[in-house]
Chains A and B, each alone.
Chain A
């Protein structure tokens, strides 16, 4: 984590982005730009400063989204949801302006109770059933445990 930078510091190139550092909290990094706002939506509570950045340049992804949340840490369920939306994301735990822990989100083998089946004829869209998807080899697709339809990872819709 870089030292907190003050906006307008002399010598900073005009195209450099200034993001306020947080003393304590969470930084979710390496989010696909299009999924960034969805990641914000899954946060169960927003009581403090949240900074959202979209289309930051990224060496590994070209462009990325970053979400910084002050004074809040994610629940395991929130981390699971982020894995569905942004399989390449990293979750950084910040304490005292420093990254104390860096977690690479992990796609589970089975995604349960997180995602809606897109097949309108699937029983899960008609009865109170906890949805369940198997992640197929290569992690590009999932398959509904009930209707057996495959679905692309990037097109999943959270419940």
Chain B
């Protein structure tokens, strides 16, 4: 499959076959990433909003393939601060690089950037909307621990999502993407942070079975994967309610006594206190490996849209 010149804006733009193809390319990069594959190519990282993992992993992925990186991590040092429009910034940057990664607080900004630019644009997060490369990393991680996901052999994977399911864009994108595969979902959240109806409709339309519950612990022994997200204090007008919720959903090692041996915990990071550090030493903690998977996946995406991998 040829992704040359392709923009990566929303996971919804990718078919099942395309997702599978990108996962295969990431596996190839993980086995052996040619250190000169992107020799002479330049990536522009336009980060209008702070980010640690996404920016560093893109920069590392580019450099490990022999490419170069220009860009900014702080919009206060750019002419956006002087009132330059996003469209103008993109028209400038496209002459300085061969591919752009953009993170911007406004939703739809990456789509606009892709329409303006003649070079490929990769969305590194547009507000609460999409973060497709994180979704590819998450899928890659799940597919590595549970290969049945892609082969379709065996029973459907039981995947739990816990925490802030209302505002968590990584949850929304991952759920959308997983609907292509044999899965069952369990959505575990306080009532005020439930999975929004438009995403439940996507799940229903895909005929993927799902359950919703507020009580998380009872479901743990059934799950193959638990995808945990951060519950942010600002979502709760009442600080006492926030304290109650965050303690209820905190995952600790002693809650994992009855889980399956292949049970894996994923988290897009940064983790704050929703996963206790005593979980890190258990065989179920998979979030740092998930973060490590960001490199081969982003190498695959960069090389694919630059036409160096197919």
Residues of chain A touching chain B, judged by Cβ–Cβ distance below 8 Å, are: 119, 121-124, 126-129, 144-150
A-B contacts, 6 listed (Cβ < 8 Å): A121-B107, A121-B128, A123-B109, A144-B108, A146-B108, A148-B10
Chain B residues near A127 (CB-CB < 8 A)? 85-87, 112
Q: Is residue B154 within 8 Å, beta carbon to beta carbon, of the partner chain? A: no
Q: Given the complex of chains A and B, what is the CA–CA distance between A29 and B129 in angstroms? A: 39
The answer to whether B107 touches A148, judged by C-beta atoms less than 8 angstroms apart, is: yes
The answer to whether A129 touches B112, judged by C-beta atoms less than 8 angstroms apart, is: yes
The answer to whether B107 touches A146, judged by C-beta atoms less than 8 angstroms apart, is: yes
Q: Given the complex of chains A and B, what is the CA–CA distance between A150 and B172 in angstroms? A: 14
Given A121-B128, A126-B106: A146 in contact with B112 (beta carbons within 8 A): yes
Given A127-B86, A148-B10: A121 in contact with B198 (beta carbons within 8 A): no
The answer to whether A123 touches B86, judged by C-beta atoms less than 8 angstroms apart, is: yes
Chain B residues near A146 (CB-CB < 8 A)? 107-109, 111-112
Nearest Cβ on chain B to A109's Cβ, whole angstroms: 17
Nearest Cβ on chain A to B167's Cβ, whole angstroms: 12
Q: In this complex, which of A122, A126, A145, A146 has the most chain B Cβ atoms within 10 angstroms of its Cβ?
A: A146
The answer to whether A122 touches B12, judged by C-beta atoms less than 8 angstroms apart, is: no
The answer to whether A150 touches B198, judged by C-beta atoms less than 8 angstroms apart, is: yes
Chain A residues near B85 (CB-CB < 8 A)? 127-128
Q: Which residue of A lies closest to B87 (CB)?
A: A127
Give the total of B residues in contact with A, Cβ under 8 Å: 19
Q: What 5 new A-B contacts, CB under 8 Å, besides A121-B128, A123-B104?
A: A121-B105, A122-B107, A123-B108, A123-B126, A127-B85
The answer to whether A149 touches B107, judged by C-beta atoms less than 8 angstroms apart, is: yes
Q: Which residue of A lies closest to B198 (CB)?
A: A150
B120-134 CB mask vs A (1 if < 8 Å, else 0) is 000000111110000
Q: Which residue of A lies closest to B85 (CB)?
A: A127
Nearest Cβ on chain B to A148's Cβ, whole angstroms: 6
Q: Which residue of B lies closest to A144 (CB)?
A: B108
Nearest Cβ on chain A to B117's Cβ, whole angstroms: 14
Q: Given the complex of chains A and B, what is the CA–CA distance between A121 and B112 in angstroms? A: 14
Q: Given the complex of chains A and B, what is the CA–CA distance between A145 and B107 in angstroms? A: 10
Chain B residues near A124 (CB-CB < 8 A)? 108
Q: Which residue of A lies closest to B113 (CB)?
A: A123
Q: Which residue of A lies closest to B106 (CB)?
A: A123
Q: Given the complex of chains A and B, what is the CA–CA distance between A121 and B10 in angstroms? A: 17
Chain A residues near B129 (CB-CB < 8 A)? 147-148
Nearest Cβ on chain A to B135's Cβ, whole angstroms: 14
Chain B residues near A145 (CB-CB < 8 A)? 108, 111
* CB contact between A148 and one of B104, B105, B108, B112 (< 8 Å): that residue: B108
* CB contact between A119 and one of B104, B107, B111 (< 8 Å): that residue: B107
The answer to whether B112 touches A147, judged by C-beta atoms less than 8 angstroms apart, is: no
* CB contact between A122 and one of B10, B108, B198 (< 8 Å): that residue: B108
Q: Given the complex of chains A and B, what is the CA–CA distance between A123 and B127 in angstroms? A: 10
The answer to whether A123 touches B112, judged by C-beta atoms less than 8 angstroms apart, is: yes
Nearest Cβ on chain B to A134's Cβ, whole angstroms: 11
The answer to whether B130 touches A148, judged by C-beta atoms less than 8 angstroms apart, is: yes
A-B CB proximity, top 3 nearest: A146-B108, A147-B107, A123-B108
